[in-house]
Amino acid sequence: MIAPGSTASDHIDRIMAWVDGAPAPTSPPPHGIIADSWKRCVLKHRLDPATVNAPNVLTPPELRDHVEPVGEFLGFARESLLGLHAQLAASGYVVLLADRDGVTIERFGSLPIEGRMARAGLERGAVWAEDCEGTNGVGTCLASGQPVLVHRFDHFAVRHTGLTCSVAPILGPVGELLAALDVSSLTAPAGGQFQSLVHGFVMSAARQIEDTWFLARTRENCVLALARSPEMAGIETDAMIAVDPAGTVVGINGGARKLFAGRDLIGVRLDAVLETSLDRLAAGTALVRQSGTERRWAISLRPPLAAQRLPSRRAPARSSAPARPTRHLPLDELAGGDPQMQAHVRRIRRFVDCDLPILMGGETGTGKEAFARAIHDASARAARPFVGINCAALPESLIESELFGYAEGAFTGARRDGMRGKLLQADGGTLFLDEIGDMPLAAQTRLLRVLAEREVIPLGGDRAIPLDLHVICASHHDLEALVASGAFRADLFYRLNGLRITLPPLRDRTDKAELIDRALELETAGLAATPRLTPEARSLLLDHDWPGNIRQLRTVVRAAVIGCEDGLIRCDDLPLAMPRFAGATSPACPAACPEAERLQAILRSHKWCVADAARSLNVSRMTLYRRMAKFGVVPPNQL
Ligand SMILES: Nc1ncnc2c1ncn2[C@@H]1O[C@H](COP(=O)(O)OP(=O)(O)OP(=O)(O)O)[C@@H](O)[C@H]1O
């Protein structure tokens, strides 16, 4: 809920008035979950909305205590998290997975506005429990057990009112709360339509994670998959029920929870739920009546998998969204009909097996990672691993252990048997270092040594392990400028700067029409009927300036495919009013004149406290606000 023109004190007054039961008539009412949470924050947790404290972030050993018990679950969830990240990253969202204590155990998202995000606590290890942070997406979802959208002034603490969070709970097979899936942004627009779309993506990814985990956890049981009709069996499953050999229900998925709302099915005999028994259900599909109703379900039985191959972690689970393509696009398809891309591909093909490091530039979403993988697939290393790591997405404290691994007992809290880092995982294949410009200097020094000596010594280890790698790096930062400012080591830059490729932004590509057709083809893969674009919708796509590049194009097309009716995508189906992505081409502050920079520097030095900054300049607060407005200087939490 937005409180237009709210200030911190308006916000606090509004919360207190609601808790006291005396809301101002002009104050928009918070919706039920938020109102309940505000009351809990004040009356139960005794929190103060005005408190300003740093985000509560666990130390690496503390974080490991939360990650290790759910390591297997995380492995099954990762594919869906990456899919969600691919859908939303161009719109400025980060994807977080929190455990049931509210601790962020996984995060995906490159952070063009790192400082602000970090301050907002959107990092691994950050604790978002409601009793610490007040009303917030993760904490309130976990406290209420409900999906929530917490937009800006819905938050309890003033310091979180810049955030917009869409969150869905993830439940296990017996209804236990496992985690909360969150997407958060500091730049989300107020538009209800856009936020509903984002919320839909989050709900769909949460159901996908639940179903993947459900199938993994119930692999030793029979699983009944219920579909509305025999034609839908095996294509779209409405509910899944796991049953033990005695015919007792031992697990249900989210679809079954919804279908049998209010009924606790765990421990109930199958024939009390459906008019059938395991003996009567053959391996094929049977039409069965739901007990006590006239409703019939087409049921297919999955026998226990214990004796069979375990389901692949990558196996796609049911989703309301169209299946995403799993194939990796080869170089020629990525190049399409664009002469600049075709020239890049010709050059790459000449050098593909020379192991010359490749440094890729290009704005976010131009396809750098897709291109790196295609180079790997076209090389003699294709059968060996391709391992990618996003240097911006890892906290500084973890990046070295992720990359180089660590030896047995290297530090307190380390896994007893040590850990193979990404470099060793990529041995013989290709290592893709995304956002290399965000690599901390200490890790740069270590990486330089590894590349020079072609061997790695895990942290805390004393034995060098030989390594054979092709390294491809990408960055949307100007690396030369980082070298000049001392933030990036010159010697590492020269070592990585073998072959230089800059991918063109979508707005400059001459094959936009072909890219639109491919996006439509990829986003409708597996669908019975492929929606068509009206000529007007096609022109709109061709003329848009695509700040989020191909990733945004794919997201927009995907949303249109889900939302369109009667097989035609019209202009209204294209969610193009997305916020501009704060990437390489869009400065964080609209004003870059010297006065704006001076004001920003002063405000930053006073932690954006306008009163303190005004005092140091010997002007009134109102004068400083007027100057900020004149030069377009906006406090980070209001961007
Ligand atoms: N030519 C193409 N045709 C269709 N889809 C593409 C093409 N190029 C890239 N994509 C898709 O666009 C999305 C973004 O690509 P990718 O992640 O490689 O971009 P990136 O430049 O590495 O982004 P970032 O800088 O944010 O890491 C991916 O889903 C990718 O599969």
pLDDT tens across 574-617, in order?
876 433 333 323 333 333 567 777 888 888 888 777 778 888 88
Find the 159 Cα to ligand 1 centroid distance in Å. 34
The pLDDT value recorded for residue 639 is: 43
- The answer to whether the CB of 368 is under 6 A from ligand 1 is yes
The pLDDT value recorded for residue 282 is: 61
Find the 483 Cα to ligand 1 centroid distance in Å. 27
Give the residue, 159 or 639, on which the prediction is more confident. 159
- The answer to whether the CB of 434 is under 6 A from ligand 1 is yes
Burial of 551 (C-beta count, 10 Å sphere; 0-12/13-18/19+): buried
Distance CA 475, CA 583 (A): 11
The dotted CATH code for 331-502 is 3.40.50.300
Q: What percent of the chain has pLDDT over 90?
A: 32
The helix (run of H) or strand (run of E) holding residue 445 is helix 441-453
Q: Which pLDDT band holds residue 24 (cuts at 50, 70, 90)?
A: low
DSSP strand pairing (532-533 vs 465-466): unpaired
Three-state SS for 343?
helix
**pLDDT tens digits for 330-364?**
999 999 999 999 999 999 999 888 889 999 999 88
**pLDDT tens digits for 236-284?**
788 999 988 888 889 999 999 998 887 888 888 988 888 888 877 765 6
The pLDDT value recorded for residue 54 is: 76
Distance CA 229, CA 236 (A): 10
The pLDDT value recorded for residue 51 is: 80
- The answer to whether the CB of 518 is under 6 A from ligand 1 is yes
Q: What percent of the chain has pLDDT over 70?
A: 82
**pLDDT tens digits for 443-500?**
899 899 999 999 998 887 888 899 999 999 999 788 999 999 888 999 999 999 999 9
Instruction: Say if CB 602 and CB 613 are below 8 A apart.
Output: yes
Name which of 475, 426, 433 is nearest 454 in CA terms: 426
As a whole number of Å, the CA-based R_g of the chain is 26
- The answer to whether the CB of 88 is under 6 A from ligand 1 is no
For the chain, where do the domains classified as CATH 3.30.450.40 start and end?
A: 1-207
Name which of 338, 357, 364 is nearest 553 in CA terms: 364
Instruction: Tell which atom from ligand 1 comes closest to the C-alpha of 553.
Output: 12
Three-state SS for 454?
coil
Distance CA 120, CA 619 (A): 29
- Average pLDDT score over residue span 302-306: 69
The pLDDT value recorded for residue 348 is: 94
- The answer to whether the CB of 364 is under 6 A from ligand 1 is yes
Find the 467 Cα to ligand 1 centroid distance in Å. 29
- The answer to whether the CB of 370 is under 6 A from ligand 1 is yes
DSSP strand pairing (386-390 vs 430-434): parallel
Instruction: Say if CB 186 and CB 92 are below 8 A apart.
Output: yes
Say which CATH class 594-638 falls into.
mainly alpha
Q: Which pLDDT band holds residue 510 (cuts at 50, 70, 90)?
A: very high
- The answer to whether the CB of 334 is under 6 A from ligand 1 is yes
pLDDT at 286 over 70: yes
Query: Which residues, 6+ apart, have CB-to-CB distance to 23 below 8 Å?
Result: 14, 17, 29
pLDDT at 154 over 80: yes
pLDDT at 638 over 80: no
- The answer to whether the CB of 160 is under 6 A from ligand 1 is no
| Integer CA distances (angstroms), 29 to 25, 35, 157, 195, 443, in order | 9, 8, 17, 19, 50
Question: Which one of 438, 514, 554 would you pick to mutate in the ligand 1 pocket, going by the greatest count of ligand atoms within 8 A of its CB?
Answer: 554
Three-state SS for 107?
strand
**pLDDT tens digits for 423-447?**
999 999 999 999 899 888 888 998 9
Judge: domain 1-207, CATH 2.160.10.10: no
- The answer to whether the CB of 553 is under 6 A from ligand 1 is no
Give the residue, 146 or 287, on which the prediction is more confident. 146
pLDDT at 307 over 70: no
- Which of 292-306, 385-399, 402-416, 498-512 ranks highest by mean pLDDT? 498-512
Instruction: Say if CB 151 and CB 174 are below 8 A apart.
Output: no
- The answer to whether the CB of 207 is under 6 A from ligand 1 is no
Instruction: Tell which atom from ligand 1 comes closest to the C-alpha of 328.
Output: 31
Residue owning the nearest CA to atom 24 of ligand 1: 364
Quote the DSSP letter at residue 24.
-
pLDDT at 515 over 50: yes
Partner residues linked to 104 by β-bridges:
98
Residue owning the nearest CA to atom 31 of ligand 1: 370
Residue owning the nearest CA to atom 15 of ligand 1: 367
Question: Which one of 331, 333, 550, 558 would you pick to mutate in the ligand 1 pocket, going by the greatest count of ligand atoms within 8 A of its CB?
Answer: 550
- Average pLDDT score over residue span 313-323: 33
Distance CA 363, CA 506 (A): 9
- The answer to whether the CB of 557 is under 6 A from ligand 1 is no
Average pLDDT over all residues of the chain: 81
Question: Which one of 82, 113, 551 would you pick to mutate in the ligand 1 pocket, going by the greatest count of ligand atoms within 8 A of its CB?
Answer: 551
Find the 434 Cα to ligand 1 centroid distance in Å. 12
User: What is the token pair recorded at 243?
Assistant: 């049953």
- Average pLDDT score over residue span 319-339: 70
**ipTM of this predicted structure:** 0.98
Three-state SS for 95?
strand
pLDDT at 319 over 70: no
Distance CA 179, CA 206 (A): 10
Distance CA 607, CA 491 (A): 35
User: What is the token pair recorded at 398?
Assistant: 């973890």
Least confident of 32-46, 207-221, 404-418, 422-436: 404-418
Say which CATH class 506-573 falls into.
mainly alpha
Distance CA 495, CA 513 (A): 38
For the chain, where do the domains classified as CATH 1.10.8.60 start and end?
A: 506-573
Partner residues linked to 243 by β-bridges:
222, 249
Residue owning the nearest CA to atom 4 of ligand 1: 519
- Average pLDDT score over residue span 413-424: 69
**pLDDT tens digits for 52-107?**
777 788 887 788 888 888 888 888 888 788 888 888 877 888 899 999 999 999 88
Quote the DSSP letter at residue 613.
H
For the chain, where do the domains classified as CATH 3.40.50.300 start and end?
A: 331-502
- The answer to whether the CB of 475 is under 6 A from ligand 1 is no
For the chain, where do the domains classified as CATH 1.10.10 start and end?
A: 594-638
The pLDDT value recorded for residue 534 is: 92
The pLDDT value recorded for residue 118 is: 56
Three-state SS for 361?
strand
